[in-house]
Structure 1
């Protein structure tokens, strides 16, 4: 068992408001636009982690509705669990982790994000749970979705 591969687990929230706009952040570390998210801590459930990450990165408290996808970055060994969320309270603010936080339309998602992240937003608008792999930027194929 010593040769068992190690993976990192992350969580993200696709926060959709009543106008079907999506809450996104511009990350401070690489300036990329992405849904808010990060590493799941050992002592929290995936939905708790999604709520925490969205709040930490945007200042918006959310209700987690359901799992929408599982995504693996094949080059880094990161497995991401992505959840559809609805805003509960708060307005988007910048934080230590986000250079900017704002609501954008689905059309803007495709223009501002890499395919590996824009597909997570698109998948959240489907009733199916997607399972996909990517290289950090581009999709490598899809099992579901």
Structure 2
């Protein structure tokens, strides 16, 4: 579902004005060491590779939302292992002109079951990539993957560049 119903209701009131929305990223990994792979989606809206992302539903627990997005977008079941980082996205201009900035809770996740596939209309491809050979993507998305693969115990908090 590309636009959650609650966002559509907000858009009816505010039009394309910038919205500040809570979101999650699920960086899903499979394997260990040199064999570690990361699950990426090729987005239908901009044709770019990205980790799994999505908007939280009102009242939804963030880790539950990350697991839900992984299943909805790629058909895989995951464990949500830890909060890897917290950051704000740059302003996003959606294909319909809607503006948004997302407070992102980035989770490190582990694949449990399911064959990765395109499971919704938000993506045109889903693929496992070697962690050391990821395709081109926006720097802020690559940072999220790096944060999730860092295996640190504390979350990283991004700050504005100096």
- TM-score normalized with structure 2 length: 0.74
Q: 2-side partners of 1:71 and 1:102: how far apart? A: 25
Q: 2-side partners of 1:108 and 1:34: how far apart? A: 14
CA 1:64–1:78 in structure 2 vs 1: closer, same or farther (change >3 Å)?
Answer: same
Query: What RMSD over aligned residues (CA atoms) do the two structures have, in Å?
Result: 1.9
SS in 1 for 2:133: helix
Question: Which fold has the larger relative contact order, with Cα–Cα distance below 8 Å and residues 6 or more apart in sequence?
Answer: 2
Choose the corresponding residue for 1:8, options 18, 21, 24: 21
State the match for 1:44 in structure 2. 60
- Structure 1: gaps spanning 5 or more residues: 134-139
Aligned-residue offset at 1:7: 2.2
- TM-score normalized with structure 1 length: 0.82
SS in 1 for 2:36: coil
Aligned-residue offset at 1:125: 1.8
Q: 2-side partners of 1:74 and 1:102: how far apart? A: 25
Q: Judge conservation of contact 1:12–1:54 (CA < 8 Å) in 2.
A: no
Q: Which structure has the bigger radius of gyration?
A: 2
1:19-30 equivalences in 2 (<5 Å): 19-30=35-46
Is 1:53 the counterpart of 2:69? The answer is: yes
Aligned-residue offset at 1:77: 2.7
Is 1:120 the counterpart of 2:140? The answer is: no
State the match for 1:141 in structure 2. 161
Q: 2-side partners of 1:141 and 1:120: how far apart? A: 16
Q: 1-side partners of 2:71 and 2:117: how far apart? A: 10
Choose the corresponding residue for 1:90, options 92, 111, 114: 114
Q: Judge conservation of contact 1:7–1:79 (CA < 8 Å) in 2.
A: yes
Q: 2-side partners of 1:107 and 1:87: how far apart? A: 18
Q: 1-side partners of 2:130 and 2:73: how far apart? A: 19
